[in-house]
Structure 1
Amino acid sequence: MTAPRVLVTRRWPADAEAAMAAAFDVTFNEGDVAMSPQALAEALRSFDAVAPTVSDRLTADLFEGATAKIVSNYGVGYTNIDTEAAKKAGITVTNTPGVLTDCTADLAMALMLSAARRLGEGERELRAGKWTGWRPTHMIGVKPTGATLGVIGFGRIGQAVARRAHHGFAMKVIYFDAYPIPAEAAAAVGAEQRASVEDVLREADFVTLHTTGGAENRHLINAERLAIMKPGAVLVNTARGECVDEAALAQALKDGPIAAAGLDVFEEEPKVNPALMAMENAVLAPHLGSATHSTRVAMGMTALENLKAFFDGREPPNRVA
C-alpha cells in the first residue's frame, strides 16, 4: 500500500523529520522559507496531508478545490487556519498542545524579569561602551518578588507561569478567564479570580497574556485598557501578536502609565511596529516561546502522531476541527 503523501511546510529538527520520513512519503520545504499562498493552495490540492506552522496562513480561499484529508498544524495555536473552510472541504485539522507549555512559561518569566530589571537596556548600554560604572540611581527597575501577577487566560500555560511566579517569586496571583477553571488549579497557586480583564489590569503589577488569538481577542490590550494599568506596571505577551495593539502599546511605553513590556509575538510577524522597536523599555524576542530542541522535537512527534492516528483510521488525539 502506498504511504500517504505529506508536505511539511518548514524544516523541523532532524529527529522529528526522520520519524516523519519513516512513516510517510514526505516532502520537506528544503529552502525553509515561507511558502506563498499559491504554493500552499497547490499543496492542499496535491498532497494527502499538509503540516503547516503557525506562521502559515491557510485562509478560506486556499481550501477551494482542496483534496488533502488532514492539516496537522505544528503548533498549539491554530488561528492561522480557517477551520470552518477546512471543515467545509472535509479536511480534519489538528494541533500540538501540551508539549510546549513549560518552555513557553519559562520564556514568559524570562521576558517578565528582563523587562522589569531592564536587562535589554543594560546590555545595550554596556556593549556600546556607554556604561560609566555602578551608581545608586542607575537602571532602576521594578521588583517582581512579592508583587501581584495578573494572568489573562488561565489555561495550561497561564497556570504554568502562575506556578513559577507564586512558588519562585512569592507573587500574589490573580486571573481572568472566559471559561471556568477547576478550583484545584487556582488553589494550587493561591490564585484569585477576577470578574473582568479590567479588574486584573487595575490591580496587577505584572500582566501576562495567555489567551487564544483570532478576531475575538484582537487588540484585547488596547489604548483604553493600557490606560487603566497601574503606574509602573509591566506587560508580557507570549500568546498571539494580535492580542496587543502595538501602536497603543508603544505610546503607553513612551507616555505611561506602564514601565515596560516583554513581547515574544507580534501583529504582523516578522514585521514589528517601528514605534515599538524604538522603545528602550520594550524587550522584544523573535517568537522563541517553544524554541528548545526537546520541545520542537516533541511538537513534531505530536504532529506525526496526529497523522498516524488519522491514516490508521483512529481519532487524532488533538483534533480541533
Structure 2
Amino acid sequence: MTTFPIQTLNAISPVGLQRLDRSVFDVGTDIDSPRAILLRSADLHSVELPPSLYAVARAGAGTNNIPVDRLAARGIPVFNTPGANANAVKELVIAGMLLAARNLYHAADYTRDLVAVQGLSGADLEKQVEAGKKQFAGFELPGKTLGVIGLGAIGVLVANAAQSLGLKVLGYDPNVTIKAAWQLSPNVEQVSSVEELLSRSDMVTLHVPLVDGTRGMINAERIALMPQGGVVLNFARGGVVDEAAVIAALDSGHLHSYVNDFPTEAGAVHPKVIALPHLGASTGEAEDNCAVMAVDQLADYLLNGNIRNAVNFPDVVMTRTPGTTRLGIFNENKPNMIGQITAALAAAGLNVSEFTNKSRGDYAYTLVDVEGEVRDELKQEILAIEGIIRARKIEA
C-alpha cells in the first residue's frame, strides 16, 4: 500500500491527527519529500516547496500565508476549513459588541489602575470607583442596528445571534450561497450595497476575506456615512479596514469605538480602540474542529482524488467505482480539454466508467474511473497535451 508522508508546520490538534491511519500516512515535522503539508499560520510564501507535493491543507479559514496562485499553477489544491471556527468567532464578535457598548475594556483598566498604580483600598477605593464610573457609561444593544458585511458561515451566525439580543440586523453579501441564505434568519434585512448598510448601522461587523476587492473597504468616505457614535468590529482581516481613517474618525468623535483582532502600534494604545491578540479561533473546540476538517479533506484527496473546500480549484467529489483505476487531472480551463483527455483514454483501449469535470476561474479538474490498467505511457501522453498541468494515478 502507498504511504503518504505529511509534513506538519504548526502544532495541529491531536483530535484531528489521530484520524490519519498511520499505516497509510506518515506524519511529522521532519518529513523529506512530503506529499502534503498541514499547517495553521506558517508562512509558505518564501519557502521552496518540493516537487513531491500534492496538496496543502490549512486548519483555518484564511490562506494569506499560502501562495495559492503559485500552487494552482502546479496543480496543487489548497484546502481550508470554512465554518469550522465559526462559533468561536461569533462569540468573540458578540463579546466585542458588549465590550464596546459598555466600555468594559477601558473600565476594567481604570479599576485595575486604582489598585495597582494608585494603591487605593477599602473606602478610598470604593469612593473613587463611584466617582469614576460615569466616564464609562455606555449604551444597550436592543434597538440598535448591526450591519453584517459578509454572510458566510460566521456572518450568518453573528447576524442570527445579534437578532436574538434585540438588535435590528442588516446584511450585505452579493455572493451569498443558497446554503447560507437558508440558515439566515428571515428577519435579517439584506441590503444592496455597503454604502446603504453603513448609513443605516450603529455597529458594523466584517466577515470577508482579504482580497483586492475588500482591501481597505472600510475607508474614510464610507465611515463618514455611519451615524455619529458608530462602532466598527473587525474579526476578518486587518487589511479590510483603513485603520488610519478609523483612528481619525475616533479622534473626531464620529466613531465611538473600534474593536479588532489585529493589533498595530497605533491601534493598541489608542484610548478608543480595543485590540485583541488574534483570538478569533483560539478555543480548544475551534482548533479541534479545524484540524478534523482539514485532515479529513486532505486524506480524501490523497486517497481518492476528491476535492472539497479548496480555495484554488472547484469541488469535485465522485464515488469510486469498484474494479476501476482512477485518474485525477488538472488542466487550464480552455476548450477541448475534455475531448483530448477522453480521446487519449480511448486510444489506450480504456473504457470510461465514471467521469466528472469542473472548472473554476483559470483552472479545471477531472476525475475519471476507467476499466483497466493505466500505464505510465498513457499518463505521459496525457501530460503532453497542451494545457495539462498534472495527472495522477490514484491507487485504490
| TM tier, smaller | 0.7 to 0.9
Give the TM-score taking structure 1 as reference length.
Answer: 0.85
Asked if the contact 1:150–1:173 (Cα under 8 Å) also holds between the matched residues in 2, the reply is yes
CA distance in 2, matches of 1:290, 1:21: 27
Indicate whether 1:46 and 2:47 are aligned. Answer: no
- 112-121 or 223-232: which moved more? 223-232
> Which of 297, 307, 319 does residue 288 from structure 2 map onto?
297
> Which of 91, 95, 100 does residue 106 from structure 1 map onto?
91
Task: Identify if the C-alpha distance between structure 1 residues 181 and 2 changes in structure 2 by more than 3 Å, giving closer, same or farther.
Answer: closer
CA distance in 2, matches of 1:155, 1:212: 10
Residue 287 of structure 1 deviates from its aligned partner by: 1.4
Q: What residue is the counterpart of 2:10 in the other structure?
A: 10
Task: Identify if the C-alpha distance between structure 1 residues 185 and 174 changes in structure 2 by more than 3 Å, giving closer, same or farther.
Answer: farther
CA distance in 1, matches of 2:237, 2:254: 23
CA distance in 2, matches of 1:217, 1:96: 20
Task: Identify if the C-alpha distance between structure 1 residues 57 and 126 changes in structure 2 by more than 3 Å, giving closer, same or farther.
Answer: same
Q: What residue is the counterpart of 1:38 in the other structure?
A: none
Asked if the contact 2:207–2:235 (Cα under 8 Å) also holds between the matched residues in 1, the reply is yes
Task: Identify if the C-alpha distance between structure 1 residues 263 and 67 changes in structure 2 by more than 3 Å, giving closer, same or farther.
Answer: same
Question: Secondary structure of 2:148's partner?
Answer: strand
Deviations 1:10-30 (A, max 9, x none): 11233334445846211238x
Unaligned stretches of 5+ residues in structure 2: 119-124, 313-396
Bigger CA radius of gyration: 2
Superposition pairs of residues 1-321 of structure 1, within 5 angstroms: 1-20=1-20, 22=22, 24-28=25-29, 46-53=33-40, 55-59=41-45, 62=47, 66-129=51-114, 132-135=128-131, 137-167=134-164, 169-180=165-176, 182=178, 185=182, 188-264=185-261, 266=262, 272-321=263-312
CA distance in 2, matches of 1:67, 1:93: 15
CA distance in 2, matches of 1:280, 1:200: 27
CA distance in 2, matches of 1:187, 1:11: 34
Task: Identify if the C-alpha distance between structure 1 residues 187 and 247 changes in structure 2 by more than 3 Å, giving closer, same or farther.
Answer: closer
Asked if the contact 1:142–1:232 (Cα under 8 Å) also holds between the matched residues in 2, the reply is no
Residue 71 of structure 1 deviates from its aligned partner by: 0.5
Question: Secondary structure of 2:304's partner?
Answer: coil
CA distance in 1, matches of 2:266, 2:134: 27
Asked if the contact 1:7–1:49 (Cα under 8 Å) also holds between the matched residues in 2, the reply is yes
Question: Secondary structure of 1:128's partner?
Answer: helix
Task: Identify if the C-alpha distance between structure 1 residues 113 and 185 changes in structure 2 by more than 3 Å, giving closer, same or farther.
Answer: farther
Residue 141 of structure 1 deviates from its aligned partner by: 1.7
Asked if the contact 2:12–2:39 (Cα under 8 Å) also holds between the matched residues in 1, the reply is no
CA distance in 1, matches of 2:76, 2:302: 13
Q: In the alignment, residue 15 of structure 2 is paired with which amino acid?
A: D
Residue 74 of structure 1 deviates from its aligned partner by: 1.4
CA distance in 2, matches of 1:152, 1:69: 35
Asked if the contact 1:231–1:258 (Cα under 8 Å) also holds between the matched residues in 2, the reply is yes
CA distance in 1, matches of 2:146, 2:42: 33
Q: Of the two structures, which has the highest relative contact order with CA contacts closer than 8 Å and spacing of 6 or more?
A: 1
Question: Secondary structure of 2:210's partner?
Answer: coil
Deviations 1:66-99 (A, max 9, x none): 4310001111122332322111112111111222
How many residues matched? 298
Residue 147 of structure 1 deviates from its aligned partner by: 0.7
Give the TM-score taking structure 2 as reference length.
Answer: 0.69
CA distance in 1, matches of 2:284, 2:50: 37
Asked if the contact 1:186–1:192 (Cα under 8 Å) also holds between the matched residues in 2, the reply is no
CA distance in 2, matches of 1:233, 1:197: 15
Unaligned stretches of 5+ residues in structure 1: 30-42, 267-271
Asked if the contact 1:6–1:24 (Cα under 8 Å) also holds between the matched residues in 2, the reply is yes
CA RMSD of aligned residues (A): 2.4
Q: In the alignment, residue 285 of structure 2 is paired with which amino acid?
A: S
Task: Identify if the C-alpha distance between structure 1 residues 253 and 21 changes in structure 2 by more than 3 Å, giving closer, same or farther.
Answer: farther
CA distance in 1, matches of 2:259, 2:134: 23
Question: Secondary structure of 2:130's partner?
Answer: coil
CA distance in 2, matches of 1:176, 1:143: 24
